[in-house]
Structure 1
Amino acid sequence: MAKSKTEETPLMQQHKAIKERYPDAVLLFRVGDFYETFNEDAVIAARVLGIVLTKRANGSASYVDLAGFPHHSLDTYLHKLVKAGHRVAVCDQLEDPKTVKGIVKRGVTEMVTPGVAINDKLLENSSNNFLATVHFGTDTTGVSFLDISTGEFFIAEGSIEYVDKLLQSFRPAEVLFAKQQQKHFKATFGTRFYTYTMDEWIFTTTYAEEILLKHFQTHSLKGYGVDGLPAAIIAAGATLHYLKDTEHPNLQHITRMQRISQEDFLWMDRFTVRNLELLNSSVENGHTLLKVLDNTVTPMGARLLKRWMVFPLRDIKGINERLDTVEYFIKETDLSKSLVHHLKQTGDLERLVSKIPLKKINPREVMQLARSLQQVQAVQALLADTDSDYLRRLNEKLDPCAPLLDRILNEIMENPPVLVNKGGCIKEGVNAELDELRNIANKGKDYLLQIQQKESEATGIPSLKIAFNNVFGYYLEVTNTHKNKVPDRWMRKQTLANAERYITPELKEYEEKIVGAEDKIQVLESRLFDDLVQSLQAFIKPVQEDAQVFARIDCLLCFAQNAMQYKYRRPNITEGFDLVIKEGRHPVIERGLAAGETYVSNDLLLNKEDQQVIILTGPNMSGKSALLRQTALITLMSHMGSFVPATSADIGLTDKIFTRVGASDNLSGGESTFMVEMNETASIINSITARSLVILDEIGRGTSTYDGISIAWSIVEYLHDMTQHRPKTLFATHYHELNELENKHVRVKNFHITNMESGNKIIFLRKLAPGGSRHSFGIHVARMAGMPPELIDRANEVLANLEEKHIDAPLQKNIKQINTPSQKLQLNIFDAHSDVFQQIREKLDTVDINRLTPVEALLKLSEIKNMIG
């Protein structure tokens, strides 16, 4: 029967069958020495990779789009596709084409997605690559975070706000959830993450427990401390299902789950992590706290430091253990230098050992693993006689894995190739058959040189040479000058422009011996290396423990180095509630100063007795925000176990740090600046405790002056009058009217940032001083920003008019020839002659703030607003 014009070729039929199993992935289809993409995948590949898009026949009449690249370029192109947000299925040839008649069997050997990346080019040394799974339970939300490249597996459960904070802190590359929860997820967490949805049946307790118990080979999950976390267990089970679904069945390096308990760490919501610029700067290429503190020397240490920063300790004993160790390293400088020397020579132990079960480790990486274990031996010896209890306990956890180390050093060449099939990987003496084959191959090549010399002498051809190619093996090459000397027994194989190539029976005989030996050597070396890698699996857990110990030591050495280099001092963490900082500095701004410039330090006191709330006023650009942030950062660094930029710091144990800084719109979510501001502030108000530190900067700026002052005023009173909590509060504002609060509330104190006027200029002294400021110096700042002189002059004229006459007089009489909307002016609601104010005051006097609910407060605020209108 004649073939149909639309009938597909066998190759395309095979491609279609495999593609149907992975419809949402770009399928890289191995054909010979190339990875090919077809149809819509080819269009994507051509666009993302910048490769040529062509067409080729599919059967007798139809054509398909086609784009491909050489197989040895896989790592480069795979990296680009995944970074562009595509899921990629790598389809390899599962048989040797030389041994197969007809079409070669193919199958997907790896599925790579943003959250499931193992390749070094897809990963950053200093950052984890977490795959997160979120499950919305009936009462709580569960979440898990797994980094397949290191084997770290964390789970947690709690409120939406808690899970949101964890997502902000872990910053996963990919987030999974059930298909039916797609709208809920987007409404809750927005579109900040790369997401993927799975079937609902995967998110069940029975299935989750079954897959987790099977993976960990246990009868119960109690040993992991996850009892009572059903939603988190479901999330963890769905994660393992996804890994198996994406062709990652070998997960022996995932040896445990760790529970993240909210009670163990100082809490910072995602707004605080953002506002304090811990991980990301608000300006391009700007400094962050992580960037200025990170002087770690190992990839494991860099990743752990980031986690310590977003999960500071809340346990005094744990904090002091770190601080004691930092102090010990500062005193023992020789030990510190030696430890840093050995840590620098250590590879990424976590990621090296994780490649073993995934069968992704190469000979050179195995040797790097051995060298890293030698550093474990050296560090263990250095810490054998340490006086530090903490370091002694860490040292007891180190295991150089002597049997593993010895085997690697005895079997692998000192400088092996990256690819085992390149040969020269296994040492001599490991396998007798391998040694014999190498002897044959080496002696055969020596004999070829003898043939060349013998034939050259016999024929009188001085330029005769023996070479090799894949078409007809070894051959004799003669230039045209001497081709008349070639004997009849030689057989001509190829004619070139300037030479001719010949073979002889003797040459072919030795070729068979040499090539046969080399093929056998390659097969045998691969088998011996695979056996070695298989034996490494028994040591995964102890090597992971070594990596974690090295990471801790690295972080603490980093803290010691920072303390010595930048003159940080040890904080005193107390069970009390006072916050006392002497000569505190902002760790990030200080590092960004120009050469020779000195940061102006400041003292600060907050307590529950007489200085609970500081109202901070001062000129724009004077340093109010810097002072607020440095207070939060010094508190945070203390709880990390780091020394701090201050001459001394007494830090009452803090359970939460809240910040509300600046104004930013959420236009995509349909929220105004003011709505975002109020949402974030409400989250703070509803979550504070007696041990909280609250940092508020310019609250109320997103609305009209009357509304803004009213809200700012009532927030301060609410924080002050919460007698059961009294959270330590720093409140920076441009509403100078709030200075009146000091006269009305015993624990509210006014401070300002000092400045000095010199002619028409203002000099910011950046020093904190008691008392409120009455001027914002906005016009001075406008001049410094380069506003036109005529605009500045007019602003001064308007200001003079406003200061000369009463603010509640008709605006038309105060300011001539200018039509300025009243809501834009800086109004004073505390003018005693205002009838409206008297009515508002009478209304406020009748309110019992301690019994007022949030809804009633909003209604009362609306009523006051209508009175003003």
Structure 2
Amino acid sequence: MKPKYSPMMMQYLSIKEENQDSIVMFRLGDFYEMFFDDAILVSKELEIALTGKNAGAVERVPMCGVPFHSASGYIQKLVDNGHRVAIVEQLSEPGKKGIVERGVVQIITPGTIFDESLTNNKNNYIAALEEFDFNYTLAFCDISTGEFCVTNIDKNEKLLLNQLQMMAVKEVVCLSKHIFKFDDILSSPFDNDKYNDKYAKIFSNINDLKQIKTASLLLNYLLDTQKRELEHLQIIEEINNDDYLTMDLYTKKALELTTNTKNNEKYGSLYWLLDQTKTAMGSRLLKQWIERPLINQAQIEDRLDIVEIFTNYFIQRESVKEILKDIYDLERLSSRIAFGNINARDLKWISSSLKVLPELKAQLISLDEPLINELANKLVDLSHITELIDQAIVDNPPLTVKEGGIIKDSFNEELDELRYIRNHGKQWLAKFEQKERDKTGIKGLKVGYNRVFGYYIEVTKANLSLVKDEFNYTRKQSLSNAERFVTPELKEMESKLLSAQDKMVKLEYVLFTQFRDYIKKDVHTLQDVAKVIARIDVYQSLAMISSENSYVRPIFNQSKTFNVVDGRHGVI
């Protein structure tokens, strides 16, 4: 017979029943708790204490927990070990009658984790894979940047694995009937590849039905696990493998393009040599360029033209490099806005990044080169965002967004009033008391407070005759030698004083979400600007390396001659 557990534990078991393939992190106050087998597993993997909980049954239920403020590191470790984690939050306010409502707000998997660090220059791709009669189709997405792409590859498992490993995919979504197994890659069965009209815009660049189905499979999986709209997803780009030099994984490893053969680290690779980028966005783009070399001569020459311009203009290049140092990862920051996990510090970073764009644009235009001007003109004016952030957000905001301390003084009248009430409540009461004494002529009138009756005006019985109807006093409590009254003004102030702090915190959060929603309208513009910054960063990096090492621009010929004069190995 099934043991009878407490209502809270029954709630947990109901949620766990629907998420049997995930570790359920169940929010209880300031902790995420895990129970039963999840607790035993997590306590071993995270090396945290396993305890027990009285849950209505005779035996104590195995339990372990982590503080919710620092949960991201624990979640990262579980996900790195190949687990899915279902985050269960409180959906209703505690204190109301009955058990607090709870539900899954997000399922975090190896392919969907948001890296908290903005210094991470690696993409985190999740893929979807569908098998068709003559080819495989792959869709890739990095939800931390919004990048989304699709490609068709020949029906060859080596080519398939090569593509997945090249993109460093952590998780592959497949239809249940075609589950693929790969070493070190989580396979996630999912059976909804129906086209989603709501996201029609991101499909505007692709027409291949196979690609649309596979991209839909990935999109629907992401919507299902993230439990929110993904407005930051970028227009899906088709990767045409005919545009790039195809290399198998062994060739790439032997050439040490992005990692060395000794320990698979960046040091000693071509990427290590060329990466003098100053932004995470630029570093990610450079890695993509190295892993997918162009084969179209005109496109290669365009890149070389811009690198040569930056090589020739040393002073402007140095200025550009210094400006880029002040730009945070706008690509990931803009995704956080749409995803809803941005904090006030992130907004300040967006502001400080956007503030330097006019100077960056001016430096680029000063070169007076058409190819550079084309890049510069894509750095559109976003000063309305920086002005709002600078006017509204304090200089050193806290990391949490639901505990106040975010909004500047004088930004919002209601907030200022609440802060004034909190900070000057005693002064107001003293002034109010004196005002009432002057109005009534009762020198012994006093304003007091107790927990049962709240704030009151106390008048001794000897002075009751001085209390006139026009004073609008309402009797609140009778004592042996005095009467206690309240006025609408005091009642209003009581309400404000007792709830000022709570109202302040809630109002600050409402204002913060309004800022977030306002900036969210420009998410795709921010992403476009981020892409331009990434390209500028890569170009200056390649130019700097070329100048420092006296690299010479190659000259193309059509006779298949490869002639190197006085060459030397860049790394060795």
Q: Please report the TM-score for the alignment, with normalisation by the length of structure 2.
A: 0.84
CA–CA distance in 2 between the matches of 1:195 and 1:274? Answer: 25
Aligned to 1:407: 388
Question: What secondary structure, in the 3-state scheme, does the structure 2 residue paired with 1:90 have?
Answer: strand
Deviation at 1:536, TM superposition (A): 0.9
Change beyond 3 A, Cα 1:426–1:261 = same
Letter of the aligned partner of 1:558 in structure 2?
Answer: S
How do 1:650-689 residues align onto structure 2 when only pairs under 5 Å count? none
CA–CA distance in 2 between the matches of 1:51 and 1:449? Answer: 53
Q: Is the 8 A contact 2:91 2:101 kept in 1?
A: yes
How do 1:514-525 residues align onto structure 2 when only pairs under 5 Å count? 514-525=497-508
CA–CA distance in 1 between the matches of 2:373 and 2:35? Answer: 59
Letter of the aligned partner of 1:314 in structure 2?
Answer: I
How do 1:182-193 residues align onto structure 2 when only pairs under 5 Å count? 182=179, 185-186=180-181, 190-193=182-185
How do 1:341-360 residues align onto structure 2 when only pairs under 5 Å count? 341-360=322-341
Question: What secondary structure, in the 3-state scheme, does the structure 1 residue paired with 2:565 have?
Answer: strand
User: Would you say 1:240 and 2:219 are equivalent positions?
Assistant: yes
Aligned to 1:146: 141
CA–CA distance in 2 between the matches of 1:38 and 1:124? Answer: 35
| Percent identity between the two aligned chains | 35
Letter of the aligned partner of 1:128 in structure 2?
Answer: N
How do 1:246-265 residues align onto structure 2 when only pairs under 5 Å count? 246-265=225-244
Match of 1:572 among 551, 555, 561: 555
Question: What secondary structure, in the 3-state scheme, does the structure 2 residue paired with 1:141 have?
Answer: strand
Letter of the aligned partner of 2:369 in structure 1?
Answer: S
How do 1:427-826 residues align onto structure 2 when only pairs under 5 Å count? 427-444=408-425, 514-589=497-572
Letter of the aligned partner of 2:551 in structure 1?
Answer: Y
How do 1:821-860 residues align onto structure 2 when only pairs under 5 Å count? none
Q: Is the 8 A contact 1:28 1:35 kept in 2?
A: yes
Match of 1:101 among 83, 97, 103: 97
CA–CA distance in 2 between the matches of 1:511 and 1:295? Answer: 61
Letter of the aligned partner of 1:193 in structure 2?
Answer: I
User: Would you say 1:270 and 2:254 are equivalent positions?
Assistant: no
Change beyond 3 A, Cα 1:192–1:521 = closer
Question: What secondary structure, in the 3-state scheme, does the structure 1 residue paired with 2:152 have?
Answer: strand
CA deviations over 1:760-809 (Å, ceiling 9, x no partner): xxxxxxxxxxxxxxxxxxxxxxxxxxxxxxxxxxxxxxxxxxxxxxxxxx
Match of 2:113 among 98, 117, 133: 117
CA–CA distance in 2 between the matches of 1:447 and 1:44? Answer: 57
CA–CA distance in 1 between the matches of 2:59 and 2:344? Answer: 46
CA–CA distance in 1 between the matches of 2:57 and 2:108? Answer: 35
Letter of the aligned partner of 1:391 in structure 2?
Answer: I
Deviation at 1:338, TM superposition (A): 1.0
CA–CA distance in 2 between the matches of 1:548 and 1:216? Answer: 22
| Deviation larger for 89-98 or 397-406 | 397-406
Letter of the aligned partner of 2:199 in structure 1?
Answer: H
Give every structure 1 segment of 4 or more consecutive aligned residues whose post-TM-superposition deviation is greater than 3 Å. 161-165, 445-450, 509-515
CA–CA distance in 2 between the matches of 1:59 and 1:129? Answer: 43
Deviation at 1:192, TM superposition (A): 4.3
Q: Please report the TM-score for the alignment, with normalisation by the length of structure 1.
A: 0.56
Q: Is the 8 A contact 1:5 1:60 kept in 2?
A: no
CA–CA distance in 1 between the matches of 2:397 and 2:54? Answer: 44
CA–CA distance in 2 between the matches of 1:439 and 1:217? Answer: 48
Letter of the aligned partner of 1:244 in structure 2?
Answer: L
* The structure with more radius of gyration: 1
Q: Is the 8 A contact 2:365 2:372 kept in 1?
A: no
Question: What secondary structure, in the 3-state scheme, does the structure 1 residue paired with 2:519 have?
Answer: helix
Q: Is the 8 A contact 2:279 2:534 kept in 1?
A: yes
CA deviations over 1:615-648 (Å, ceiling 9, x no partner): xxxxxxxxxxxxxxxxxxxxxxxxxxxxxxxxxx
CA–CA distance in 1 between the matches of 2:377 and 2:565? Answer: 39
Match of 1:155 among 150, 160, 168: 150
CA–CA distance in 2 between the matches of 1:158 and 1:330? Answer: 38
User: Would you say 1:169 and 2:166 are equivalent positions?
Assistant: yes
Deviation at 1:392, TM superposition (A): 1.0
Which segments of 5 or more consecutive residues in structure 2 lack a partner in the other structure?
432-453, 455-491
CA–CA distance in 2 between the matches of 1:436 and 1:414? Answer: 21
Deviation at 1:568, TM superposition (A): 1.9
Match of 2:24 among 20, 24, 27: 27
Q: Is the 8 A contact 2:201 2:235 kept in 1?
A: no
CA–CA distance in 2 between the matches of 1:577 and 1:166? Answer: 28
User: Would you say 1:331 and 2:312 are equivalent positions?
Assistant: yes
Change beyond 3 A, Cα 1:352–1:214 = same
User: Would you say 1:195 and 2:187 are equivalent positions?
Assistant: yes
User: Would you say 1:215 and 2:199 are equivalent positions?
Assistant: yes
Change beyond 3 A, Cα 1:124–1:239 = farther
How do 1:304-383 residues align onto structure 2 when only pairs under 5 Å count? 304-383=285-364
Q: Is the 8 A contact 1:157 1:163 kept in 2?
A: no
CA deviations over 1:219-272 (Å, ceiling 9, x no partner): xx5x40x22x33322221110111111134221111300010112112222221
CA–CA distance in 2 between the matches of 1:422 and 1:381? Answer: 40
CA deviations over 1:578-602 (Å, ceiling 9, x no partner): 111112222222xxxxxxxxxxxxx
Letter of the aligned partner of 2:47 in structure 1?
Answer: G
Change beyond 3 A, Cα 1:410–1:117 = same
Deviation at 1:566, TM superposition (A): 2.3
Match of 2:88 among 83, 88, 91: 91
Letter of the aligned partner of 1:105 in structure 2?
Answer: E
Question: What secondary structure, in the 3-state scheme, does the structure 2 residue paired with 1:114 have?
Answer: coil
CA–CA distance in 2 between the matches of 1:542 and 1:32? Answer: 39
Deviation at 1:127, TM superposition (A): 0.4
Question: What secondary structure, in the 3-state scheme, does the structure 1 residue paired with 2:54 have?
Answer: strand
Question: What secondary structure, in the 3-state scheme, does the structure 2 residue paired with 1:23 have?
Answer: coil
User: Would you say 1:181 and 2:178 are equivalent positions?
Assistant: yes
User: Would you say 1:13 and 2:5 are equivalent positions?
Assistant: no
Change beyond 3 A, Cα 1:445–1:413 = farther
CA–CA distance in 2 between the matches of 1:175 and 1:563? Answer: 39
Change beyond 3 A, Cα 1:544–1:440 = same
Q: Is the 8 A contact 1:313 1:319 kept in 2?
A: yes
Question: What secondary structure, in the 3-state scheme, does the structure 1 residue paired with 2:173 have?
Answer: strand
More relative contact order, 1 or 2 (CA 8 Å, 6+ apart): 2
Aligned to 1:675: none
Q: Is the 8 A contact 1:444 1:513 kept in 2?
A: no
CA–CA distance in 1 between the matches of 2:571 and 2:212? Answer: 39
Q: Is the 8 A contact 1:136 1:231 kept in 2?
A: no
Aligned to 1:766: none
Change beyond 3 A, Cα 1:166–1:400 = farther
CA–CA distance in 2 between the matches of 1:449 and 1:163? Answer: 77
CA–CA distance in 2 between the matches of 1:515 and 1:148? Answer: 43
Deviation at 1:445, TM superposition (A): 6.6
Letter of the aligned partner of 1:116 in structure 2?
Answer: T
Change beyond 3 A, Cα 1:192–1:583 = farther
CA–CA distance in 1 between the matches of 2:427 and 2:348? Answer: 31
Aligned to 1:392: 373
User: Would you say 1:62 and 2:59 are equivalent positions?
Assistant: yes
Q: Give the count of matched residue pairs.
A: 515
Letter of the aligned partner of 1:550 in structure 2?
Answer: I
Letter of the aligned partner of 2:538 in structure 1?
Answer: C
Deviation at 1:446, TM superposition (A): 6.6
Q: Is the 8 A contact 1:412 1:427 kept in 2?
A: yes
Letter of the aligned partner of 2:234 in structure 1?
Answer: T
Question: What secondary structure, in the 3-state scheme, does the structure 1 residue paired with 2:299 have?
Answer: helix
Letter of the aligned partner of 2:543 in structure 1?
Answer: A
Aligned to 2:486: none
CA deviations over 1:125-154 (Å, ceiling 9, x no partner): 110000111111111110011000000001
Deviation at 1:427, TM superposition (A): 2.4
Question: What secondary structure, in the 3-state scheme, does the structure 1 residue paired with 2:546 have?
Answer: helix
